[in-house]
């Protein structure tokens, strides 16, 4: 067994709520499209870019982890998301927000709305929608892909459950008064 590695302590925001079956349905495609609608809604209604986040979907609840502090600290996001996926009872993990995506080998990433979902059996679903000047253009639809349609998994995305199993990763979450907040083991 590999001993746990020590990392710099990083505090991040965690929100927990009930899993509303209308907002977070069980069907893969319906769930992905619902999450894409949520991300697009933040961009359209609030005219701001949603903060990147990871959702851990359980049968009865949803946990949302804010990634801003991890990005600022240049932490290993793949390891963090894998640790989220490694928690008991997690049925799916979703990465969502606005990220820079390179299209057609462009030298610079184009800001794009992103939803990437993964399940423990390595199924995945993704949607990427390019933005123009921080806004959604109706004539630029989302590119939706999934493992079940035979597409290759996008590079750098997913394989979180596999890594969690391979490295025995789990995220320990505590309150501010408890030591060990967000420790990856």
Q: What is the pLDDT of residue 106?
A: 64
d(CA 7, CA 98): 27
Strands 124-132 and 135-136: antiparallel
Q: Is residue 26 included in any domain, yes or no? A: yes
Q: What is the pLDDT of residue 180?
A: 45
Q: Is residue 5 included in any domain, yes or no? A: no
Q: Is residue 154 included in any domain, yes or no? A: yes
What secondary structure letter does DSSP report for 180? T
Q: Does the pLDDT at position 179 exceed 60? A: no
Q: Does the pLDDT at position 174 exceed 80? A: no
Exposed / middle / buried, residue 23 (Cβ in 10 Å: 0-12, 13-18, 19+): middle
Report the b/e string of 173-185 with b at 16+ CB within 10 A: beeeeeeebbbbe
Q: Is residue 8 included in any domain, yes or no? A: no
| Average pLDDT for 85-96 | 96
Q: pLDDT band at 58, cuts 50/70/90?
A: very high
Percentage of residues in the chain having pLDDT higher than 70: 85
Strands 14-18 and 53-57: unpaired
Q: Does the pLDDT at position 125 exceed 50? A: yes
Number of domains in the chain: 1
Q: Is residue 184 included in any domain, yes or no? A: no
| Average pLDDT for 119-134 | 92
Q: Is residue 79 included in any domain, yes or no? A: yes
- The DSSP annotation for 35-58 comes to HHHHHHHHHHHH-SPPPPEEEEE-
Query: Which structural domain, as residue segments, surrounds residue 110?
Result: 14-177
Q: Is residue 41 included in any domain, yes or no? A: yes
Angle CA(171)–CA(169)–CA(94) in degrees, nearest 5? 65
pTM for the full model?
A: 0.86
| Average pLDDT for 37-45 | 89
Q: Is residue 108 included in any domain, yes or no? A: yes
Q: What is the pLDDT of residue 167?
A: 95
Q: What is the mean pLDDT of the chain?
A: 86
């Amino acid at each position: 067994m590999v001993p746990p590695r020590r990392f710099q302590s990083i505090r991040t925001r965690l929100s927990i709520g009930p899993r509303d079956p209308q907002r977070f349905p069980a069907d893969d495609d319906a769930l992905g499209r619902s999450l894409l609608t949520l991300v697009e809604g933040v961009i359209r209604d609030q005219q701001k870019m949603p903060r990147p986040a990871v959702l851990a979907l359980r049968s009865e609840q949803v946990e949302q982890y804010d990634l801003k502090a991890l990005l600022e600290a240049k932490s290993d996001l793949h390891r963090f998301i894998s640790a989220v996926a490694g928690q008991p009872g997690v049925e799916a993990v979703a990465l969502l927000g606005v990220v820079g995506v390179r299209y057609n080998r462009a030298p610079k990433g184009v800001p794009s709305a992103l939803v990437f979902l993964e399940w423990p059996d390595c199924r995945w679903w993704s949607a990427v929608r390019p933005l123009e000047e921080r806004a959604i253009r109706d004539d630029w639809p989302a590119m939706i892909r999934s493992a079940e349609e035979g597409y290759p998994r996008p590079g750098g995305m997913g394989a979180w459950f596999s890594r969690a199993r391979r490295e025995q990763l789990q995220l320990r979450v505590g309150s501010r008064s408890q030591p060990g907040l967000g420790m990856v083991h």
